[in-house]
Amino acid sequence: MSDDATLIAAARAARERAFAPYSKFKVGAAIETEDGTIVTGCNIENSTYGLTLCAERVAVFKAVSDGHRAFRRVAVVADTADPTPPCGPCRQILWEFCGDIEVILANLTSDMGHHRLKDLLPLPFDARLLG
């Protein structure tokens, strides 16, 4: 298992690759799989705005597409004084693939806190309800 600093550093590096010409708000994410692999994502915007993908979803979809199905932790980095938490849709996507994962929020200089996804997404909808 990588340490927090390594996961956060990977998210910071991914953030540098963000395609965010419209909002100028760059985000990086790094997800650690059960086998210790780190998969990163950055936000990728689109001129139609609505097709923008958040960094967290890019990281999860890259990892799932590479065959990973079990995850330990995700780090999210933005250049903000307050922590930047995953948006609602990203929380739902993280829940689908990661369950009650640890969510680490950081900016460019500090680790700003650790959360459980269950606390960020209480009473989640998921496949258990589909019977």
Q: Which residues bind ligand THU (CB under 6 A)?
A: 20, 23, 25, 27, 43, 45, 52, 54-56, 76, 84, 86-87, 90
Q: What does the buried/exposed string (b/e) look like for 90-116 if buried means 16 or more CB atoms within 10 Å of the residue's CB?
A: bbebbbebbeebbbbbbbeeebbeeee
Coil, strand, or helix at residue 30? strand
The nearer residue to ligand THU, 53 or 64, going by C-beta atoms, is 53
> Which residues are identified as catalytic?
56
The nearer residue to ligand THU, 37 or 80, going by C-beta atoms, is 80
Q: In the bound complex, what is the minimum distance in angstroms from residue 2's beta carbon to ligand THU?
A: 21
Six-digit token string for 25: 């708000």
The nearer residue to ligand THU, 35 or 103, going by C-beta atoms, is 103
Query: Do the beta carbons of residue 18 and residue 26 sit within 8 Å?
Result: yes
Q: In the bound complex, what is the minimum distance in angstroms from residue 130's beta carbon to ligand THU?
A: 27
Look-up of token digits 């990892």: 63
Q: Measured over all CA atoms, what is the biggest interatomic distance in the chain, rounded to whole angstroms?
A: 45
Q: In the bound complex, what is the minimum distance in angstroms from residue 19's beta carbon to ligand THU?
A: 8
Strand order, beta sheet including 102-106: 38-42, 27-33, 71-78, 102-106, 111-116
The nearer residue to ligand THU, 76 or 101, going by C-beta atoms, is 76
